[in-house]
Amino acid sequence: MSSHPLDAISEQAIDWMVTLNARTPDDALLQRLTHWLQQDPAHQQAWERLQRRLGKPIATLRALEQRAPGQAAEARQVLLQPTHSRRDVLAALASVGLFGGALWGAWRSDATQNWLADFHTGSGERRSFTLADGSRLSLNSASAVDLYFDAGQRLLVLRRGQLLIQVAADPHRPLRVRTAQGQVQALGTRFLVSQEAAATRVVVLEHSVRASLPDGRWLDLQQGQAAMLHSNAIEPLADEQQQRAAWLDGRLEVLDEPLQEVIDALRPYQRGYVRVDPEVRNLRVQGVFPLDQPQQALQALAESLPISIEHYGPWLTLIGPAQVRQKNS
């Protein structure tokens, strides 16, 4: 393994990242971090550089601190080696024994899967890619895709989030998108696939696709049609779904959806944790909201629904029923 020495500021940046994510941040800790960032422009640059390099695999660092403190120093050095690619880092961490036992679960976390995927986007980021066959792949915020293209197949594995693809025609290699519930096959078409909590949403924007489950059941979907792939069934969707592709233009278009689903769509663009009280989760929402300005979107929701939104620093947002103000008698 290469052993390039770390500069002092990079050392401090990784220490701050581990400290911040080893426990729930309080105001005092956040103030100290802010003070350190403002002391020197080099501090802010090192912090941003570290986050770009690591893709924020914080679940791994946190698990390591809790379960294998004796190996934390080695892993810390490996993660900061400037010459390693993502897959080199993976191999190097395996060499110091970090893939044994329960730590493997940490490396299977969402953050790490994003970091290791062939194509991925961070929070609040949308990106488009032209694939080797000429297909055009677009990823919504906080999404991750692995690519398996060779002489016999064109396969995309959606690990997390949402993709939209304009498929280049190839009669010998139909393009497939695989998810946790099944797969979607297309030839010369444009469609959207979203990996949701316990199902896959498929929306056909042009031509047609075939959605299928591992047990062999399948359903052909034509332009304008949509379906949910569950572990044991394919559910056609009767209501309009094509507006779900509006994220390509930075918009969230909602047609009579529950508040919980609207907040879930905003989560990849919102810092910290957002909790929706069960009492208001099913309030119906209709409107167009800016994805790149999630605070503005939340404010618009608060103005149109009987809800209250409380912010606790940048890390926690609570959405609950509006408080009824008593009039003085």
Fill in the amino acid letter for 52: R
Least confident of 9-18, 27-36, 51-60, 273-282: 51-60
Fold identical between 121-242 and 250-321?
no
DSSP 180: S
pLDDT in tens, 195-236: 998 899 999 999 999 999 999 999 999 999 999 999 999 999
Residue 211: predicted pLDDT: 96
pLDDT above 60 for 329: no
Residue 200, pLDDT score: 96
**Residue 286: band (very low, low, confident or very high) from pLDDT cuts 50, 70, 90:** very high
Per-residue model confidence (pLDDT) at position 113: 53
- Per the prediction, the chain carries an average pLDDT of 79
Kindly state the tokens that stand for 35: 């003070």
Phi, psi torsion values for 300, nearest 5 degrees: -65, -40
pLDDT single digits (tens) 295-317: 999 999 999 999 999 887 777 88
222 Cβ partners below 8 Å, 6+ apart?
204, 207, 208
pLDDT in tens, 90-148: 454 454 444 444 333 444 445 555 556 789 898 889 999 999 999 999 999 989 999 99
Residue 54, pLDDT score: 52
Helix then strand count (H, E) for the chain reads: 10, 18
In this prediction, residue 298 carries a pLDDT of: 94
Q: What is the pLDDT at residue 252?
A: 95
**Which residues contact residue 167 at a Cβ distance below 8 angstroms, ignoring those fewer than 6 apart?**
135, 175, 186, 187, 188, 189, 190, 191
pLDDT at 114: 58
> Which two tokens mark 301?
């929701």
Which class does domain 250-321 fall in? Answer: alpha beta
pLDDT in tens, 146-158: 999 989 999 999 9
Tens digits of residue pLDDT in 24-75: 556 677 778 878 888 888 888 887 776 665 544 444 444 444 444 444 455 5
How confident is the model at residue 27, as a pLDDT? Answer: 67
Tell me the C-alpha distance between 9 and 12, whole Å.
5
> Six-digit token pair at 99?
């893939």
Residue 272 has what pLDDT? 78
All structural domains of the chain with their residue ranges: 8-116, 121-242, 250-321
**Structure confidence at residue 26 (pLDDT):** 63
Q: Which helix (H) or strand (E) holds 298?
A: helix 294-304
Residue 112 and residue 59 in contact, taking contact as beta carbons nearer than 8 Å: yes
Contact 164, 138 (CB under 8 A): yes
Q: What is the CATH number of domain 121-242?
A: 2.60.120.1440
DSSP assigned state of 4:
P
pLDDT at 270: 85
Rounded-to-10 torsion of CA 139, 140, 146, 150: -20
* Residue 71 CB coordination number (10 Å): 16
In one letter, which amino acid is 185?
A: Q
Q: Is there a contact between 291 and 246 (Cβ–Cβ < 8 Å)?
A: no
Q: Which of 9-13, 133-137, 183-187, 220-224 has the lowest mean pLDDT?
A: 9-13
* CA distances to 13, 37, 49, 92, 226 from 79, in Å: 12, 21, 13, 9, 42
- For residues 177 and 162, give the distance between their C-alpha atoms in angstroms, rounded to a whole number: 11
Question: How many angstroms separate the Cα of 312 from the Cα of each of 27, 138, 264, 274, 307?
Answer: 9, 33, 19, 10, 17
